[in-house]
A and B are shown apart, each in its own frame.
Chain A
Amino acid sequence: MNATLWSAIKSEWIKFRSVRSTWIGLATFIVLTIGIGLLVTFTISGHINDHGGENRIGFDPTVTSLVGLFLAQFAVGVIGIVMMTGEYASGAIRTTLTAIPRRLRLVAAKKVILAISMFVVSEVTVFAAFLIGQAVYHRVNIGTSLGAPGVCRSVFLAGVYLTLLALLGFGIGIILRTTAFSIMVYTAILLIIPVIVNFLPQSWKSAVTKYLPSELGQSMFTPHGSPSGFSWLPALLVLLAYVGVVLVAGIAVLEKRDA
């Protein structure tokens, strides 16, 4: 690795680990993912055998144990957003850019810190949520295991999905600069656009829906693939492309703009 990039990474790591908001964000993410997973798996395991097993139709032990990430993905996005908007909120960006004047190097350093830390934390958290969920299910014999076809891959990709969403938030933060506006846009992408798409004519809807980030996530962490969407590999590639485009746009904007 380029020595100056390594220095920039060390510098960014000091900032990342030294501010309390990083740890609050990560704790919120972990608690949401595991807590909601527990709540949902307990509720399901208590009612799964009601109505003579009818409830089992469409039941997926992997996806339901990971359901907490539908909320946790907002915590992840905010961690990524604040990575850049926090610098603008305080004006610290001007000090940062005098120390690391190459915009590309700064973004690369932040991206490395964010990607590695979010990947590690996300993987540990989703595997923990999965295993805890299956432990709950095994009491009523409806659980699955990491050895079942596609399950280990799905849980792993759930962690990848969250890491990519953090990077998506980061890219949005670079472009928009303010925390509030960035969170609004990020939330709109994950929550509001799917609702709008729902109102489109049926033929458009099915074509567009599968490209939505939340839908791509579903495709990635559902062991048997989502019925109307992509299989896991194209879903992963499309999401990677989104993140790539947003980051490239972010770097271009950062290069052009006065700090």
Chain B
Amino acid sequence: MITIDHLTKRYDDTVAIDDLNFEVKPGVVTGFLGPNGSGKSTTMRIIMGLDHATKGAATINGRHYHELATPLREVGALLDAKAVNPRLSARNHLRSLAASNKIPYSRVDEVLEFVGIASVAHKKVGGFSLGMSQRLGIAAALLGDPQILLFDEPVNGLDPEGIRWIRDFFRSLAKEGRTVFVSSHLMSEMAVSADEIIVIGRGRFITSGSVDDLTKDAKGSVLVRCSDGDALRATLGDATAIEELNDGALSITGPSAKDIGEMALRAGVALWELTPQRASLEEVFMDLTADAVQYGHHVGAAQ
């Protein structure tokens, strides 16, 4: 269990984290979602005892990270895959970590095998690709067989196969009763890999809940261009939310693209375009964080 209690981090005149409060529970994958620069990494660094909180605290089973005698046996983290001495071999890197926390060296070979880099264990880490470094980072996180695991943007740099592997891996860790805390700036990623989601923006708490809770109210919309908008409206009925866009296209929320197509056929309306819109989760996230995007004017200009 990770407890974030009134956590605040201030740098001179900017507030990176503003009075965050939440708990990360065991047995589920908890997603930590927010736009880039929203304070996810800073929160994780404070949990790991790297950065100091200005106010409040982040604790692990009630204790600060630096109070843990052999921290790697309680918490494993992959914060920055490249934070390794490039001149060390993968095996020596893991051995030095193992030695520091009284973990037997046999465990080093086990985790190297598990993440699939045993064959390059003697190679210098400096020559590793980002994907290989990520695997080494995962090996380091698992080294002490910890009950709590943190991953900061773990899918960055992984190929599609690696991404699938890591999702299954998070699930299996959670199923074993471990606490799994994974950050991402991609709602779509969190939607498939997390059970619970905590959303922050500009260092402030926005919302939290299960993936279902967060998407319950949000339904997908379909973009439609057709020969006779009024006829299509009449067929769909008043209950359907239809929004007319500037260029005459309709944004229809409720029925699926298939239903709309069939109804248009019956009404004798010619469809010129029928496009299911971007994942609704993504929109939920955009709505939630719209006010909290750090560089709001950039986003505004892009739209």
Residue-by-residue, is B177-217 near A (CB-CB < 8 Å gives 1, otherwise 0)? 00000000000000000000000000000000000000000
Distance in angstroms from B128 CB to nearest chain A CB is 12
Q: Is B285 in contact with chain A by the CB < 8 A criterion? A: no
Among candidates A3, A14, A101, A258, residue contacting B51 with C-beta atoms closer than 8 Å: A258
Chain A residues whose CB sits within 8 angstroms of the CB of B52 once the complex forms: 256, 258
Chain B residue nearest to A255 (CB atoms) is B52
Bound together, the chains give a CA A93 to CA B48 distance in angstroms of 13
Chain A residues whose CB sits within 8 angstroms of the CB of B77 once the complex forms: 98
Q: Is B157 in contact with chain A by the CB < 8 A criterion? A: no
Name the prevailing secondary structure of the A interface residues: helix
Distance in angstroms from B8 CB to nearest chain A CB is 14
Chain A residues whose CB sits within 8 angstroms of the CB of B61 once the complex forms: none
Q: Is B83 in contact with chain A by the CB < 8 A criterion? A: yes
Among candidates A7, A14, A98, residue contacting B50 with C-beta atoms closer than 8 Å: A98
Bound together, the chains give a CA A180 to CA B45 distance in angstroms of 27
Q: Are B97 and A95 in contact (CB under 8 A)?
A: yes
Q: Is A87 in contact with chain B by the CB < 8 A criterion? A: yes
Q: Is A45 in contact with chain B by the CB < 8 A criterion? A: no
In the complex, chain A residues 49-87 whose Cβ is within 8 Å of any chain B Cβ: 86-87
Q: Are A20 and B96 in contact (CB under 8 A)?
A: no
Bound together, the chains give a CA A18 to CA B72 distance in angstroms of 22
Q: Is B140 in contact with chain A by the CB < 8 A criterion? A: yes
Distance in angstroms from A112 CB to nearest chain B CB is 14
Bound together, the chains give a CA A259 to CA B42 distance in angstroms of 11
Chain B residue nearest to A90 (CB atoms) is B85
Chain A residue nearest to B94 (CB atoms) is A14
Q: Are A18 and B92 in contact (CB under 8 A)?
A: yes
Distance in angstroms from A100 CB to nearest chain B CB is 5
Chain A residues whose CB sits within 8 angstroms of the CB of B96 once the complex forms: 11-12, 14-15, 18, 99
In the complex, chain A residues 9-30 whose Cβ is within 8 Å of any chain B Cβ: 10-12, 14-15, 18-21
Name the prevailing secondary structure of the B interface residues: loop
Tell me the count of chain A residues lying within 8 A, CB to CB, of chain B.
30
Q: Is A205 in contact with chain B by the CB < 8 A criterion? A: no
Q: Are A7 and B88 in contact (CB under 8 A)?
A: no
Among candidates B69, B72, B89, B92, residue contacting A98 with C-beta atoms closer than 8 Å: B72
Tell me the count of chain B residues lying within 8 A, CB to CB, of chain A.
34
Among candidates A8, A95, A102, A258, residue contacting B84 with C-beta atoms closer than 8 Å: A95
Bound together, the chains give a CA A97 to CA B46 distance in angstroms of 12
Bound together, the chains give a CA A248 to CA B71 distance in angstroms of 25
Among candidates A8, A20, A100, residue contacting B87 with C-beta atoms closer than 8 Å: A20
Q: Are B100 and A10 in contact (CB under 8 A)?
A: yes
Chain B residues whose CB sits within 8 angstroms of the CB of A100 once the complex forms: 100
Q: Is A94 in contact with chain B by the CB < 8 A criterion? A: yes
Distance in angstroms from B140 CB to nearest chain A CB is 7
Q: Is B49 in contact with chain A by the CB < 8 A criterion? A: yes
Bound together, the chains give a CA A154 to CA B66 distance in angstroms of 44
Q: Are B95 and A94 in contact (CB under 8 A)?
A: no
Chain B residues whose CB sits within 8 angstroms of the CB of A102 once the complex forms: 66
Q: Is A4 in contact with chain B by the CB < 8 A criterion? A: yes
Chain B residues whose CB sits within 8 angstroms of the CB of A8 once the complex forms: 100
Chain B residues whose CB sits within 8 angstroms of the CB of A94 once the complex forms: 45, 50, 79-80, 83
Among candidates A12, A15, A18, A91, residue contacting B83 with C-beta atoms closer than 8 Å: A91
Q: Is B270 in contact with chain A by the CB < 8 A criterion? A: no
Q: Is A196 in contact with chain B by the CB < 8 A criterion? A: no
Bound together, the chains give a CA A241 to CA B65 distance in angstroms of 33
Q: Are A91 and B71 in contact (CB under 8 A)?
A: no
Chain B residues whose CB sits within 8 angstroms of the CB of A12 once the complex forms: 96
Bound together, the chains give a CA A168 to CA B232 distance in angstroms of 81
**Known contacts A7-B101, A99-B97: A19-B82 contact under CB 8 Å:** no
In the complex, chain A residues 86-129 whose Cβ is within 8 Å of any chain B Cβ: 86-87, 90-95, 97-102
Chosen A-B contacts, 28 in total, with CB atoms closer than 8 Å, are A7-B100, A7-B101, A7-B102, A14-B99, A18-B89, A18-B92, A19-B87, A87-B85, A90-B84, A91-B80, A92-B83, A92-B85, A94-B45, A94-B50, A94-B79, A94-B83, A95-B83, A95-B84, A97-B50, A98-B50, A99-B72, A99-B100, A99-B101, A100-B100, A101-B68, A258-B52, A259-B50, A259-B51
Q: Could you list 10 further interchain pairs (A-B, Cβ under 8 angstroms) beyond the known A3-B102, A97-B49, A98-B71?
A: A4-B69, A11-B97, A14-B92, A15-B85, A21-B87, A93-B83, A98-B65, A99-B101, A101-B49, A259-B45
The 7 nearest A-B residue pairs measured at CB: A11-B100, A91-B83, A101-B66, A258-B51, A10-B99, A14-B96, A11-B99
